[in-house]
Structure 1
């Protein structure tokens, strides 16, 4: 494999011709060793699915000033909730750059201080990337990404991130989506164990149910933790558990026994599967019946 100088396997076509010679580049493209994700840039075919390679290629195509943004920036910051194979790049309003297949170009003015280097790639800071995605990204994915960004942070760091993102949202020149973003900011806790759990909580709140407590502990009489519920309404003794495939495969008997023990304590437990995220009517109806049983219509 040709060493492109440590830039994630992507170089401009001009530089590839200079390093290899035009004939070898053409041979590499013909035999599939090299590929051109977009005109003017060449990457090793073996690296063509890597996020950093595609991101570097996009920056080469777009030119400077530009920064990786949106879902691409969040993924580079380590946010797993986003799943977008397109590369998102933001350029200043003064630049007229058209989007290409799988390369989405956004326009917004930004300062050099808004850009951080991640693996040598100019990328929007986490707070700025979150603010933009909360306003114009998929709502469920945006909320899950925000929750994930907060996960594991100390309480004061959560407050700082929330405040920084809020300031970014309020300061946006594009006012679309600001109300939605602020609502999601208020709802996020950073306590969900996974992006699907965040999405379940958003679905529940948008359906009109009270905001549930997250990671609610059930303890023994002497204070030892017995269970930790994904979501709960303790005053009504209603619990909502998300059964991710990986974490609950082969655990049906254990979960059933746990639900029975919780029922003995007066709790109603409702389980949510991955399929329910796509069509939530079943578990929302079950949740509604649970609230009715507790005397809350």
Structure 2
């Protein structure tokens, strides 16, 4: 079994081409497990750490005319939202004739100048064009959480997205855009929180508000809830991780007790529950019905 080599300084930071590598090491050394092939002719030490690494690797083999699109454009414009191994999505003009390969997903498209922006990784679709592309995904459970992130972090507006759509009236999936935009909420603070909200709306439940601030009868701030129906005093929290630290458990209990004292009922939904959306919908539906009936009594 080969030992881990001493990696030359020139190859330590980010991806590099095979040609660059062979200026510093031999072909046999490049086959050492310390060097991981990312795509054809591109390597990185120890493997991809972030999606930024994947984008940088793709740029080494793509022509300058390539424009980052879709989820990759969202990642570049709005922050760390993709996994390291997620595909790098790009547009290329038809004449470029570059095929998608390995982690690179290519579509042919010539974009107008106002739909392209410059980023730290070269050209990418503008926030409005990125939203236009994402809103055309076939499933709103996929598209809306991504649009929430994009709207919350870039400030792109519905009007701007619709302006792009007006210029591409015959584009594939354009009829999906309005439905997706109707569900967007830039106040959402996590994709799973967004997914929970969209799941409830798709089931026909009243749309909850995001980031609901709760006050007690004395006007004192109690807590901020992920989702809620303030008139019914019902809240939802998405718990992405269990809080095992004793100090955190004590804080969580005190917070929940304060919410109960303020007259609120709060459901905590975790990842395993969200994997069974029909159960979550049934639970919330029963609670909303009971609280509504009580309010009318």
* TM norm structure 2: 0.79
1:32-47 mapped onto 2 (5 Å cutoff): 32-39=33-40, 41-46=41-46
1:279 aligned to 261, 273, 276, which one?
A: 276
Q: How many Å apart are 1:49 and its aligned residue?
A: 4.0
CA distance in 2, matches of 1:62, 1:152: 28
The answer to whether the aligner puts 1:66 opposite 2:48 as a matched pair is: no
The answer to whether the aligner puts 1:211 opposite 2:218 as a matched pair is: no
CA 141–104 in structure 1, closer or farther in 2 if over 3 Å, else same: same
In structure 2, the partner of 1:96 is: 97
Q: How many Å apart are 1:15 and its aligned residue?
A: 5.4
In structure 1, the partner of 2:128 is: 127
State the SS of the aligned residue for 2:168. coil
Partner deviation per Cα, 1:220-268 (whole Å, 9 max, x = no partner):
3343311222212222332222222166865556555655554454433
CA 288–89 in structure 1, closer or farther in 2 if over 3 Å, else same: same
In structure 2, the partner of 1:193 is: 189
CA distance in 2, matches of 1:67, 1:272: 38
1:270 aligned to 253, 267, 270, which one?
A: 267
In structure 2, the partner of 1:75 is: 75
State the SS of the aligned residue for 1:62. coil
CA 201–133 in structure 1, closer or farther in 2 if over 3 Å, else same: same
Instruction: Decide whether the 8 Å contact of 2:234 with 2:265 is kept in 1.
Output: yes
Higher relative helix content: 1
State the SS of the aligned residue for 1:101. coil
CA distance in 1, matches of 2:79, 2:130: 11
Between Structure 1 and Structure 2, how many residues are aligned?
A: 284
Q: How many Å apart are 1:109 and its aligned residue?
A: 1.9
Instruction: Decide whether the 8 Å contact of 1:240 with 1:271 is kept in 2.
Output: yes
CA 51–257 in structure 1, closer or farther in 2 if over 3 Å, else same: closer
The answer to whether the aligner puts 1:291 opposite 2:292 as a matched pair is: no
Moved more, 250-259 or 99-108: 250-259
CA distance in 1, matches of 2:16, 2:170: 33
Q: How many Å apart are 1:204 and its aligned residue?
A: 0.8
2:236 aligned to 240, 259, 262, which one?
A: 240
CA 48–260 in structure 1, closer or farther in 2 if over 3 Å, else same: closer
1:52-63 mapped onto 2 (5 Å cutoff): 52-63=52-63
The answer to whether the aligner puts 1:225 opposite 2:231 as a matched pair is: no
CA distance in 2, matches of 1:80, 1:48: 14
* TM norm structure 1: 0.79
Instruction: Decide whether the 8 Å contact of 1:79 with 1:149 is kept in 2.
Output: no
Q: Which runs of 5 or more residues in structure 1 are unaligned?
A: none
Instruction: Decide whether the 8 Å contact of 1:10 with 1:43 is kept in 2.
Output: yes
Q: How many Å apart are 1:141 and its aligned residue?
A: 4.0
CA distance in 2, matches of 1:273, 1:288: 17
